[in-house]
């Protein structure tokens, strides 16, 4: 859920639930963020009703608490302080290229670590029966200080569909390749509902 405060700021509240298909692992993330639009280096005005799509440079500060359980037994929870920065630029063919740098300050069972995440995303907006549809593809790399290495790569593809001024949804396919501490691959189908106020 997004709540606009001023033209340059908004709040973002997120709750995400995940369940393994072939296991009894479950996870629930509850998070709150403040988004801040930053002054572009070059004075470029992007004309768009969408808050994020109309910014060429913006930041997010937030907190995330992760609850996990396996076979009905609670695993150690995780607390995250989150700092991130977005930048975007239009490229030929009416495509947009967006980069995001994010730092997760993590406390897992009281042990502190840092995870650095770098994502590149390509999007292009279309209109379908008067509604904006934005297909996207992104790749994200994760560096984890617990292992002193690149621990994960995440690929995600899907569309964001605007239903009304207040509601949008996404359907996506994701592939997560874990490299550290051991190798594994996870494929997932996800659905995201977004409310705007």
Tens-place pLDDT, residues 29-83: 999 999 999 865 544 544 556 788 888 899 999 999 998 887 777 788 899 999 9
Higher pLDDT, 7 or 136: 136
How does 34-50 read in b/e, with b if 16+ C-beta sit within 10 Å?
ebebeeeeeeeeeeeee
Domain boundaries along the sequence of the chain: 2-195
DSSP conformation letters of the chain: -EEEEETTEEEEEEEEEEE-SSS-EEEEEEEEEEEEEPPPSS------SSTTTT-SEEEEEEEEEEEEEETTEEPPPEEEEEEEEEEEEEETTTEEEEEEEEEEEEEETTEEEEEEEEEEEEE--EEETTEEEEEEEEEEEEEETTTTEEEEEEEEEEEEEE-SSSEEEEEEEEEEEE-SSS-EEEEEEEEEEEEB-
Cis peptide before 54 (omega within 30 of 0): no
pTM for this model (two decimals): 0.88
Topology of domain 2-195 in CATH is Lipocalin (2.40.128)
What integer best gives the mean pLDDT of the chain?
Answer: 90
Between CA 95 and CA 57 the distance in angstroms is: 17
Tens-place pLDDT, residues 15-27: 998 887 656 678 8
Tens-place pLDDT, residues 140-194: 999 999 999 999 999 999 999 999 989 999 999 999 999 999 999 999 999 999 9
């Amino acid at each position: 859920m997004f709540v606009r405060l001023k033209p340059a700021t908004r709040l973002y509240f997120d709750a995400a639930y995940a369940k393994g298909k072939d296991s009894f692992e479950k996870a629930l993330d509850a998070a709150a963020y403040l988004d801040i639009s930053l002054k572009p280096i070059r004075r470029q005005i992007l004309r768009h009703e969408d808050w994020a799509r109309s910014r060429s440079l913006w930041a997010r500060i937030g907190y995330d608490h992760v609850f996990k359980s396996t076979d009905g037994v609670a695993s150690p929870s995780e607390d995250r302080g989150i700092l991130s920065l977005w930048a975007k630029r239009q490229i030929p063919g009416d495509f947009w290229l967006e980069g995001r740098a994010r730092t997760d300050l993590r406390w897992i069972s009281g042990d502190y670590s840092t995870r650095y995440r770098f994502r590149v995303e390509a999007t292009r907006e279309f209109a379908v029966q008067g509604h904006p549809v934005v297909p996207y593809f992104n790749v994200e790399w994760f560096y984890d200080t617990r292992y002193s290495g690149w621990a994960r790569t995440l690929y995600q593809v899907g569309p964001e569909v605007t239903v009304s001024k207040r509601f949008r949804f996404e359907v996506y396919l994701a592939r997560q390749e874990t490299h550290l501490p051991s190798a594994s691959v996870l494929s997932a189908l996800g659905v995201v509902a977004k409310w705007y106020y």
